[in-house]
A = this chain, B = another copy of it.
Amino acid sequence: MTAQIPQTEEKIRVSEIFGPTIQGEGALIGQPTVFVRTGGCDYRCTWCDTLHAVDSQYRETWTPMTAEAVFAEIKKLSGGEPLMVSLSGGNPAIQPLGPLIEIGKNKGYRFALETQGTIAQAWFAHLNILTLSPKPPSSEMKTDWAKFEECLAAANGKPQIALKIVIFDQQDYDYARQAAQRYPTLSLYLQPGNHTPPSGQNSEQHIVDMEGINARLRWLAEKVTADQWYEATVLPQLHVLIWGNRRGV
Contact = CB atoms under 8 A, between A and B. Distances in A.
Interface stretch (A81-89, A96-104, A127-135): A81-89
A70 interface: no
Contact of A228 (B21, B79, B238): B79
Interface residues of A, number: 33
Interface string A219-245: 001001100111011111010011100
A217 B242 contact: yes
A22 interface: yes
A226 to B, nearest CB: 9
Interface in A1-35: 19-22, 29-32
Nearest to A218: B242
A242 B230 contact: no
Interface string A89-113: 0000000000000000000000000
A196 B7 CA distance: 61
Contacts of A217: 242
